[in-house]
A and B are shown apart, each in its own frame.
Chain A
Amino acid sequence: MKKEHVGKGVQTHYTILVVEDDEGLNNLIKKSLQRAGFRTHGALNGKEALGFLMKDQNAILLLDFMLPDMTGKQLIEVLTERNCDIPFIMMTGQGDEKIAVEMMKLGAWDYIIKDANLIEILPQIIKRVVNGLVHERKLKAAEQALRESEERYKTLVKTSPDAVTATDLEGNISYVSERTLELHGFENAKELLGKSAFELVALEDREKAAKNLAKTLDKGAIRNAEYNLLRKDGSNFIGELSAALVKDAEGKPNAFIATTRDITERKRAEQALNESKERLLRFMESATDIFILFDSGLNFVDINKAGLKTWGVNKEEVVGKNLSDVSPDLKETGRYGQYMDVIKSGKPFFIDDTVPNPKFGNKHLAVKAFKVGDGLGVIISDITEHKNAEENLKKTMQELERSNKDLEQFVYIASHDLQEPLRTMSSYTKLLKKRYKGKLDSDADEFIEFIVDGSTRMQNLIKDLLEFSRVDKKGRKFKESESQEALRQAVNNLQATIEETSATITTEELPKIFADDVQLVRLFQNLIDNAIKFHGNVPPQVHISAQRREDEWIFSVRDNGLGLDPKYSDKVFTIFQKLHAGEEYRGTGIGLAICKKIVERHCGRIWVDSEPGKGSTFYFSIPSGAIP
């Protein structure tokens, strides 16, 4: 039983190859070993043994030295050549100790003398060899594991994003990883080895570092200690350091290993986040709007100062309470349900509320409710002033509109009704002149002349004023109009003046536009009339053209006349603004004001580009599309 047990533990791994040319002995050995629990195989010569080993190398050779085809030594040499490291035990005859020694040098595990005791002691010897082999194999595996583990740690240290540093118990550096060098801005480990690790810590943090070192010695490790660390160039960064105490085989502390990482960025981000939170909080607390946060059941989670002030409560009084407890009327008004709907649907809810306040008049509140996480955020703004201002503005606008209309009506009626008596006056003074010129004295003739002139001018004024007031009041609907045709009519209307002044009117192709065609004629007519009116000594030349610019047409009326000082470029479009002495040039000063009014009615602009002595170009723009 004992033998069985001995063999069983190892037999699975090895076949005992008995190489012995004496067949009887070979069998005898095999049987003995089989009894002891070993798996065996027999070979009568070297060739057979090699043949077996080619198939199964998991064997122990029990090798006779003298074989028919080769010596045991030769067999081992063949195996060595073939890189087969097969454990072997030599069997020698008595007196062959010299051979035994030689074979032991070649690596034999043991040798046995073939004597009477051979069969009896063989199993014990084999067992010892097997045990030795097993032990050796375990040792090899352990060594391999250790090597691998060391390799792993080396790789780990090398590739770790954290810097790894080892020091002795005083903190003198004994190892630095590449990352440590990088982190502190060094190029070579020699620069640091042997130096105190405290030199890498900013002055203000060295005391803390010393305390932490003592603590590590005491507790075995510290984690995530923050320091202001130094680079070679003296600059700072924030580092996070974890350290552990390393003990020797006897459990005596002999070193520290520390890992360090740069957390400057993280710190900055944390700080930024904190500042942002702080800012947001300050913003909410300083806001004049009310901010309230409810949970999914409309219980108060938070409320800002403005809210507390409005309700006249402390935060502790409302936080945790339900909205319906704080404002019971909201359930009746339906607002409570509307808020719940926002939580359910996620759709925000906006409403302007009017809250009657007998003391201060109505309060207008703008309420915005929106989902925040599972809960509800509500912002309430007091828009009373805004609303009041809006209403005031509306009223003012209405009043302005009415007064504008009144004014227009007044101008229209005044100019219209003034026409009649004026016509009478003008007619009779002219009749007076016609019938009595030269029949009274020369004074009377002069007086009559002045009356005639005055009444004529007044008549023109009134006529233009009426037309001015009619631009908006009597304007026609806009329709697609040929501006070329409008220009033709305008020139036609001005035929007398054109002939009188020998003016030349030239034009380029003009577009179709959306306009009041009657007013378009008037617009061209006034501009051309104006261009002809202020001509110098040369006959007037007027050129009309149009250019498309984005979504509008820019018309231009260019003349070679007197031109005007740019400082008057806006004034010329003002009603009754005459820039030239009345005696010299006729006109009421309304013509261009009428142009401006017509252009503005067409949603366009009018301007002039001019220089004294270089003529003027009047421009006006008309939208190219239909005007709403």
Chain B
Amino acid sequence: MSYAVNGKPIEILLVEDNPADVRLTREALKEGNVKKNLHVARDGEEALTFLGRKGDFKNVPRPDLILLDLNLPKRNGREVLEVIKGSEDLKRIPVVVLTVSNHEEDIQDTYNKHANCYITKPTDLDQFFKVALDIENFWLKTVSLPSNGIK
């Protein structure tokens, strides 16, 4: 498994403007037993700067998994998703869309833009924690992720 192969922690980028949700996600992920670093981008632009390792983010690692909210200030989640999946460098990074919306159109649209999966944020805390655990179990434990930096 990814984290076991080289012993490095898994790098996760959470793109989320709501600090409460950021904290909640952090708390939820804490409950898991995978060694990971959670990076946070507060809007679409910051997310793209992070991924491009520009400005303040020159030395950040490339994330192994992206948790992407759709409603973001400046550049929204759909744009971010389009840039990621349109980029030779970034397109292999799994993107989990995590949003409050359960609209059919949003689901269709994000899969059309090659999102790897779509999850509606549960309104209930226990459910939310369970989803976080499920994400960790599946994306960080079950699946094999591509190695960083290899095109």
Residues of A within 8 A of B (CB): 419-420, 423-424, 426-428, 430-431, 434, 459, 463
Which residues from A are CB-within-8-Å of B100? Answer: 419-420, 423
B120 to chain A, nearest CB (A): 11
Q: Once the chains are docked, how many angstroms separate the CA of A463 from the CA of B100?
A: 12
Q: Does A423 lie within 8 Å of B121, measured CB to CB?
A: yes
A426 to chain B, nearest CB (A): 7
Known contacts A424-B20, A427-B128, A428-B20; 12 further A-B pairs (Cβ under 8 A): A423-B121, A423-B123, A424-B21, A424-B24, A426-B124, A426-B125, A427-B20, A427-B125, A430-B125, A431-B27, A434-B125, A463-B123
Within 8 A of A (CB), among B16-41: 18, 20-21, 24, 27
Interface residue SS majority, chain B: helix
Q: Does B123 lie within 8 Å of A459, measured CB to CB?
A: yes
Which residues from B are CB-within-8-Å of A430? Answer: 124-126
Within 8 A of A (CB), among B84-130: 100, 121, 123-126, 128
Q: Once the chains are docked, how many angstroms separate the CA of A459 from the CA of B124?
A: 9
Q: Once the chains are docked, how many angstroms separate the CA of A428 from the CA of B20?
A: 8
The 7 closest A-B pairs by CB, nearest first: A430-B125, A424-B20, A427-B125, A423-B123, A427-B24, A459-B123, A431-B125
Chain B contact residue count (CB 8 A cutoff): 12
Q: Once the chains are docked, how many angstroms separate the CA of A325 from the CA of B32?
A: 102
Which residues from B are CB-within-8-Å of A428? Answer: 20, 24
Q: Does A431 lie within 8 Å of B24, measured CB to CB?
A: yes
Determine the residue in chain A with the shortest Cβ distance to B128: A427
Q: Once the chains are docked, how many angstroms separate the CA of A529 from the CA of B128?
A: 25
Which residues from A are CB-within-8-Å of B125? Answer: 426-427, 430-431, 434
Against A, the Cβ 8 Å flags (1 = close, 0 = not) of B113-151 are 000000001011110100000000000000000000000
Determine the residue in chain B with the shortest Cβ distance to A425: B20
Determine the residue in chain A with the shortest Cβ distance to B121: A423
Q: Once the chains are docked, how many angstroms separate the CA of A426 from the CA of B124?
A: 7
Determine the residue in chain B with the shortest Cβ distance to A420: B100
A-B CB pair tally, cutoff 8 Å: 29
A104 to chain B, nearest CB (A): 141
Q: Does B123 lie within 8 Å of A424, measured CB to CB?
A: no
Which residues from B are CB-within-8-Å of A426? Answer: 123-125
A379 to chain B, nearest CB (A): 58
Which residues from B are CB-within-8-Å of A459? Answer: 123
Which residues from B are CB-within-8-Å of A463? Answer: 123
Determine the residue in chain A with the shortest Cβ distance to B125: A430
Q: Does B124 lie within 8 Å of A424, measured CB to CB?
A: no
Against A, the Cβ 8 Å flags (1 = close, 0 = not) of B22-62 are 00100100000000000000000000000000000000000
Which residues from A are CB-within-8-Å of B20? Answer: 424, 427-428
Pick from A423, A424, A427, A463 the residue with the most CB of B within 10 Å: A427
Q: Once the chains are docked, how many angstroms separate the CA of A623 from the CA of B85?
A: 48
Q: Once the chains are docked, how many angstroms separate the CA of A459 from the CA of B125?
A: 12
13 CB contacts below 8 A, A to B, read: A419-B123, A420-B100, A424-B18, A424-B21, A426-B123, A426-B125, A427-B24, A427-B125, A427-B128, A428-B20, A430-B125, A430-B126, A459-B123
B26 to chain A, nearest CB (A): 11
B107 to chain A, nearest CB (A): 14
Pick from B20, B124, B125, B128 the residue with the most CB of A within 10 Å: B125
Which residues from B are CB-within-8-Å of A427? Answer: 20, 24, 125, 128
Determine the residue in chain B with the shortest Cβ distance to A427: B125
Q: Once the chains are docked, how many angstroms separate the CA of A420 from the CA of B124?
A: 12
Q: Once the chains are docked, how many angstroms separate the CA of A434 from the CA of B125?
A: 10
Determine the residue in chain A with the shortest Cβ distance to B126: A430
Determine the residue in chain A with the shortest Cβ distance to B71: A420
A429 to chain B, nearest CB (A): 8
Q: Once the chains are docked, how many angstroms separate the CA of A574 from the CA of B105?
A: 31
Determine the residue in chain A with the shortest Cβ distance to B19: A424
Q: Once the chains are docked, how many angstroms separate the CA of A434 from the CA of B128?
A: 13
Identify which of A419, A420, A431, A434 contacts B18 (C-beta below 8 A). Answer: A420
Within 8 A of A (CB), among B66-84: none
B34 to chain A, nearest CB (A): 21
Which residues from B are CB-within-8-Å of A434? Answer: 125
B85 to chain A, nearest CB (A): 27
Q: Once the chains are docked, how many angstroms separate the CA of A419 from the CA of B123?
A: 9
Which residues from B are CB-within-8-Å of A419? Answer: 100, 123
Which residues from B are CB-within-8-Å of A423? Answer: 100, 121, 123
Determine the residue in chain B with the shortest Cβ distance to A434: B125
Determine the residue in chain A with the shortest Cβ distance to B103: A474
Which residues from A are CB-within-8-Å of B21? Answer: 424
Q: Once the chains are docked, how many angstroms separate the CA of A306 from the CA of B31?
A: 92
Which residues from A are CB-within-8-Å of B126? Answer: 430
A489 to chain B, nearest CB (A): 15
Which residues from A are CB-within-8-Å of B27? Answer: 431
A497 to chain B, nearest CB (A): 16
Q: Once the chains are docked, how many angstroms separate the CA of A423 from the CA of B126?
A: 12
Determine the residue in chain B with the shortest Cβ distance to A419: B100
Q: Once the chains are docked, how many angstroms separate the CA of A423 from the CA of B21?
A: 9
Which residues from A are CB-within-8-Å of B123? Answer: 419, 423, 426, 459, 463
Determine the residue in chain B with the shortest Cβ distance to A430: B125
B69 to chain A, nearest CB (A): 11
Determine the residue in chain A with the shortest Cβ distance to B24: A427
Q: Once the chains are docked, how many angstroms separate the CA of A463 from the CA of B45?
A: 31
Determine the residue in chain B with the shortest Cβ distance to A433: B125
Q: Once the chains are docked, how many angstroms separate the CA of A428 from the CA of B21?
A: 10
Q: Once the chains are docked, how many angstroms separate the CA of A477 from the CA of B128?
A: 33
B72 to chain A, nearest CB (A): 13
Determine the residue in chain B with the shortest Cβ distance to A463: B123
Q: Once the chains are docked, how many angstroms separate the CA of A321 from the CA of B21?
A: 90
Which residues from B are CB-within-8-Å of A431? Answer: 24, 27, 125
B140 to chain A, nearest CB (A): 22
Pick from A423, A426, A428 the residue with the most CB of B within 10 Å: A423
Q: Once the chains are docked, how many angstroms separate the CA of A424 from the CA of B17?
A: 13
Which residues from A are CB-within-8-Å of B18? Answer: 420, 424
Q: Once the chains are docked, how many angstroms separate the CA of A431 from the CA of B31?
A: 12
A520 to chain B, nearest CB (A): 16
B125 to chain A, nearest CB (A): 4
B110 to chain A, nearest CB (A): 19
Q: Once the chains are docked, how many angstroms separate the CA of A424 from the CA of B20?
A: 6
Q: Once the chains are docked, how many angstroms separate the CA of A296 from the CA of B55?
A: 97
B14 to chain A, nearest CB (A): 16
Q: Once the chains are docked, how many angstroms separate the CA of A362 from the CA of B20?
A: 64
B9 to chain A, nearest CB (A): 24
Q: Once the chains are docked, how many angstroms separate the CA of A191 from the CA of B117?
A: 119
B117 to chain A, nearest CB (A): 21
